[in-house]
Structure 1
């Protein structure tokens, strides 16, 4: 029994070490590629320093007034609706991958999620949040 435990511990330690080694290898490769891309871009990239480069918006049109202008609240509403449906997409993809493993409970849970989402969309539509004013 003791020998079996010792072998099991050894196997577990080897598996953990192999996974850690793989993680460190991938991490170092990613960091190396990012640093190499940055250094290459700095070495061969064009260098032009002038007054226009220091401006926040480089279009050739001189700025008027302050750069902090008030935004129309409609942009915020559309941004929130976009985020709502973006999160839906992020949640639906993994659900679609594992739906067969979880059976009917997965269908009920995603059905509830979609009903709440559609009710939120209907509420926003009814309140006129989708109309540009």
Structure 2
């Protein structure tokens, strides 16, 4: 077994590690680190910054994220169907109507439960 055959694989791994880790190290070494009140102020999270990273979050953040993923996946399934609408015919159209009906039922359920209220 000739180890010279593995040299390209070793070089690929080394270059990949350098490309992945190199910018992180350069940013850490060369980047400024001057925290102030503006950088530590609330940003998109809705509450003051605090020391403990394991503090309790409001469950609404997770619920909104899950609902976003749900409806984002709906679009991911609808786009290929829209492109192939001529090929799938009436059966494909009816299947998508059933799919949308199930999603609308879930959306109405979430709406009635108050999951979309942000107060």
CA distances 1:74-123 after superposition (whole Å, capped 9, x unpaired): 11111111011110011011111112111000100000000111111111
CA distances 1:24-60 after superposition (whole Å, capped 9, x unpaired): xxxxxxx79x849817x64xx556279x6xxxxxx46
Q: Distance in 2 between matches of 1:116 and 1:123?
A: 11
Query: How many positions carry a matched residue from both structures?
Result: 93
Match of 2:105 among 104, 116, 119: 119
Greater gyration radius? 1
TM-score by length of 1: 0.56
Q: Distance in 2 between matches of 1:121 and 1:84?
A: 10
- Give 5+ residue unaligned stretches, structure 2: 1-11, 34-38, 42-48
Pair 1:81 & 2:67 matched: yes
The CA RMSD measured in Å over matched residues stands at: 3.3
Aligned equivalent of 1:110:
96
Higher relative contact order (CA 8 A, sep 6+): 1
**1:67, distance to aligned residue in structure 2 (A):** 1.6
Pair 1:38 & 2:19 matched: yes
| Runs of 4+ in structure 1 over 6 Å off | none
